[in-house]
Structure 1
Amino acid sequence: MLNYLLITLCLAHVAVCQDHNPNIVVILTDDQDVVLGGMNPMKNVHRFIGNEGTTFTNSFVTSPICCPSRASFLSGLHVHNHMTWNNSVSGGCYSRTWRKLETRTFATALKDSGYNTFYAGKYLNEYGVHATGGPEQIPPGWSEWHGLVGNSVYYNYTISNNGVPTYSPDLYLTDIIRDLSLNFIENQTESQPFLMVLAPPAPHQPFTPAPRHQGVFSNVTTVRHPNFNIAVNDKHWLLSMPPAPLPAEMIPDLDKVYRSRWESLLAVDEMVADVVEALDSNSLLTNTYLIYTSDNGYHIGQFSQVYDKRQPYETDIRVPLLIRGPKVQKNVTNDQPVLNIDLAPTIMELAGLLPPKSLDGKPINFDSLNKDFERNMLVEYYGEGRDGTVDPSCPWKYDSDNLAQCYPEYDCKCQDSKNNTFACLRHISNRINKKYCSFADSENFTEMYDIDNDPYELTNIIDKELPSVKHWYKLMLSQMITCKGYSNCDNPLQQPRIYG
């Protein structure tokens, strides 16, 4: 009877049936960069996932901000298709529009096909708040649900435990997520596959380490790449906003943020080791895929910005991606370009399902280390204003409708604005490694960088490129910002004949 039921479920979801579908574990961190050494503290992640699997060196997100990126991760859709524009309810974050779409995430597909599904940690930034239905609401697709209400914190939080709100003032959240995951694993057997997503708060602001990790990196300072704390005149106006460069007295605070982020990640690294050990002890590890990644990157001092994300530069859009599992090559790096919208179809395919053609992402090819690849990837961000984050003591409070994230501790240097709205084409092949960005402002400001020759994006080459090349990138980007489905989003135009 059980075999008949599994066959029926497989056929209903166009599955490629397997005798023992694999288990899938995803660890999704919050704001973990890769460009500034954000993976350096993760010794266990490298040992138990990277060394036993594949590390992807060209992994990007569709948007350098939490809620839109997480919606893309869950749905396999670009921002313009899932319409979660920013971190606010009015901007689509856990809005009614999203709640209609979340009936078609990879979680619902796997649960409907017979998987036992588990979620613990941060979901979308506005999940569980009163305006979006409260913590009693359980997103579809999850057999067991432990969703954080609101944005990332480490203490004084509320978790929706299967729809029952539970407040905790003094238990470290990452450790609670670990404990919940280990309890779940203890109750799993080989007879039913499971999906487990763990979403700890680290290293998101306020960057609070577990007490046992405070001071571990006391001698570490932030990376001083060539783009650190330099004034710019060829980028979007927001980056040239004063003070530029940042005053010397602010730099120690950047160093403190940098090492606190590393320290907050150590509990995540311990959690990964404990999860792997639990899987192994319960004879589940050999048939389990583990995926480690982040929702976006981060900058700390680059181009005289303070510390945040929301920008189109490599610090903010590149993320770690390490995967191990039964069919994944061990201890190798893979340069193929990957977007976080690829994870939903990848998870579906690993589970024996055929991903819908309506998804914008494509399954990752684990068999190929072929260097002869080419991909055009879309990155979108929709700037915020009028969100109440312009401090009254800042001199530009008069323009608070258009600005955001302006605080005295940043010397009132704003981190966002309504016209910090951009779309970028991240173009990677065996011969090309470029980025073309267009801003929705009164100047129609554009940027272009040759990443191979200028990895720190110091020189905007938009005025040096051949007109034919610029025209191609502009046309390609215009097509991609409205594309639907991978067959349309992957390569809507032929490649330019002249590469520059």
Structure 2
Amino acid sequence: MRFVSLCSFFISCFLLVASLGLFAQDSRPNIVYIMSDDHGYQAVSAYGYGLNKTPNIDRLAKEGALFTRASVTNSLCAPSRAVLLTGKHSFVNGKVDNMQAFDWSQDNFAKLLQSAGYQTAMVGKIHMDGLPQGFDYSAVLPGQGHYYNPDFIIDGERKRIQGYVTDITTDLALAWLDERDSDKPFVLLYHQKAPHREWLPALRHLEKYTSMSFEEPPTLFDDFEGRGTAAKSAEMNLLDHMNWAGDSKIRPELMDELGIEEYMEWDKGAYNNNLGRMTKEQRAAWDAVYDPINEDFKKRYPDMSREDLMHWRYQRYMQDYIGSVASVDEGVGELLDYLEKNGLAENTIVVYTSDQGFYLGENGWFDKRFMYEESLRTPLLIRYPKEIDPGTKIDALVQNLDFAPTLLDYAGVEIPSDIQGKSFRDLASGKTSEWRDAIYYTYYEYPSIHMVKRHYGIRTDRYKLIHFYYDIDEWELYDLEKDPQELKNVYDDPAYADVKREMHKKLENIREKYGDSDENNERYLNLYLEATKKN
């Protein structure tokens, strides 16, 4: 009997220890990483630009941290996502542009969390071919995806779902949260397509946002007098390079009637494809709003000057862009409410960001790609009640390179030595103010749409040095304190000779640190040119 009692005692102790171990594991934080597509920080109201209201995204700033100078390493959709997953620069993970294939067999932070016992899911846009690896569940858009009645690839099987893509992505994410194993910590990558081009808002937002008027940026009619060849030759102008049908929603037949030619050969095709996916009911609701816009434009167009057209196109652009952001904000609200309702908010890290910045008419532009601020910077807001004080503001130069190590750090998972980013966990909690003094940037996709030339560069707290190469050899230096809009290149200004010398030295050092070189540039140029020939 004594032996049996001792056995029972030891078994009870073992079960107690095991249960305590399980409890410790399950106390690790959950992670919800929200990424929208092309959402400029100017269109998040917490940043104070006054363009729109994003009350749900703003909750993360009020209840957590707002990063004022977060940036990307390569301002392009797929490369940015590859950097997020791997914590490595594009020239290391191999995804330097939208053409090159992404090697899913390489390590990514989701794989490491999965191996450490986390449940993992990816829902929404990833914009990289192949079944996502490192995820117990995936429901992703093929390619760019569609706004209305989109196809999703769910665990490898393609399925069309009726509705609006932002709402569907949110519903799929919440459904997975409901169905997951509640005994395990989770990481959810919740990626929205919006507000990516061609900016089709949800039907419920059409009337409100197409009636709005937006203040124009002071550089809408920029002549680039203070910049070099790259800015002057880029094809990103709202009037000259934006599609009339696909982007501004002018009916193709009206374009023909008015003698407006396509800028891109897929202009009318984009319009017909996007609206052709709608049901009769959806299309009727759409036409009820956009037909009067077309009729008004038809009356005004013959007497409109180039300046008038620029004003008109800016408003049309912003109405649809900001209208697309509205549903993203609503989705964030639904998710935050879900966490609150289910008792998950306290122990869940919530990140909101975009895959890069975006031009909202500054310098007369749309799109991204450049190392200039509107493209380089991305919104970043993080809430984690256990460690981050409400209302925290962080000016440090963090990058999307840092997401992988930061999330691994929060989860208590060892950060591999080959990850190039740095955890900003202690920065967010206020435990340290020490951080890097410079960030490194690369861009490779040229010649291509928008014709933004290949370049790399370095940004410090005050200065930015950019080298445009391949078919030109030009340097640009900006004093961001005196010239925050980057309108005057001071590279050849004698007053900045010492700054130029120091920035070149910093650039050499940071390229050596991360393992970049002119040989890398040449290699990826050749791969790109080969890929474009095949396509």
The answer to whether residue 119 in structure 2 is matched with residue 116 in structure 1 is yes
The answer to whether residue 76 in structure 2 is matched with residue 41 in structure 1 is no
C-alpha offsets along residues 299-336 of structure 1, whole Å, 9 cap, x if unaligned? 1333343x211111111111110000121111221112
* CA apart distance, 1:38: 6.9
Matches within 5 A, 1:42-441: 42-47=54-59, 49-88=60-99, 92-94=100-102, 98-101=103-106, 104-123=107-126, 125-127=127-129, 137-168=130-161, 170-188=162-180, 190-241=182-233, 247-248=306-307, 249-305=309-365, 307-325=366-384, 326-364=386-424, 365-368=427-430, 373-385=435-447, 404-405=448-449, 415-417=450-452, 420-428=453-461, 433-441=462-470
- One-letter amino acid of the structure 1 residue matched with residue 93 of structure 2: H
* CA apart distance, 1:370: 6.3
- One-letter amino acid of the structure 2 residue matched with residue 44 of structure 1: N
Is the 2:227–2:487 Cα contact (8 Å) retained in structure 1? Answer: no
TM-score (norm 2): 0.74
Q: In structure 2, do the counterparts of structure 1 residues 290 and 485 end up closer, same or farther at CA, with 3 Å as the change threshold?
A: farther
CA RMSD of aligned residues (A): 2.7
Is the 1:38–1:262 Cα contact (8 Å) retained in structure 2? Answer: no
* CA apart distance, 1:18: 5.0
- Could you say what secondary structure the match of 1:138 adopts? coil
Greater share of helix residues, 1 or 2? 2
Matches within 5 A, 1:12-31: 18=25, 20-31=27-38
Between 323-332 and 249-258, the greater mean CA deviation after superposition: 249-258
Structure 2 Cα separation of the partners of residues 117 and 245 of structure 1: 40
Match of 1:461 in 2: 490
C-alpha offsets along residues 413-444 of structure 1, whole Å, 9 cap, x if unaligned? xx215xx011120112xxxx111111114542
* CA apart distance, 1:196: 0.5
With a CA cutoff of 8 Å and minimum separation of 6, indicate the structure with the bigger relative contact order: 2
- One-letter amino acid of the structure 2 residue matched with residue 378 of structure 1: Y
- Could you say what secondary structure the match of 1:327 adopts? coil
Q: In structure 2, do the counterparts of structure 1 residues 28 and 6 end up closer, same or farther at CA, with 3 Å as the change threshold?
A: farther
Structure 1 Cα separation of the partners of residues 329 and 388 of structure 2: 21
Segments of structure 2 that go 5 or more residues without pairing to the other structure are 1-13, 47-51, 240-305, 517-535
- Could you say what secondary structure the match of 1:85 adopts? coil
Structure 2 Cα separation of the partners of residues 160 and 435 of structure 1: 41
Q: In structure 2, do the counterparts of structure 1 residues 5 and 357 end up closer, same or farther at CA, with 3 Å as the change threshold?
A: farther
C-alpha offsets along residues 323-353 of structure 1, whole Å, 9 cap, x if unaligned? 0012111122111221011111011111111
C-alpha offsets along residues 234-258 of structure 1, whole Å, 9 cap, x if unaligned? 4242422399895321331222111
Q: In structure 2, do the counterparts of structure 1 residues 36 and 213 end up closer, same or farther at CA, with 3 Å as the change threshold?
A: closer
Q: In structure 2, do the counterparts of structure 1 residues 313 and 484 end up closer, same or farther at CA, with 3 Å as the change threshold?
A: closer
Match of 1:473 in 2: 503
- Sequence identity percentage: 29
* CA apart distance, 1:19: 5.4
Structure 1 Cα separation of the partners of residues 87 and 160 of structure 2: 32
Structure 2 Cα separation of the partners of residues 316 and 223 of structure 1: 20
Segments of structure 1 that go 5 or more residues without pairing to the other structure are 9-16, 128-136, 386-403, 406-414, 487-500
Q: In structure 2, do the counterparts of structure 1 residues 116 and 296 end up closer, same or farther at CA, with 3 Å as the change threshold?
A: same
- Could you say what secondary structure the match of 2:390 adopts? coil
Residue of 505, 510, 513 corresponding to 1:483: 513
Number of residue equivalences: 424
Is the 2:233–2:451 Cα contact (8 Å) retained in structure 1? Answer: no
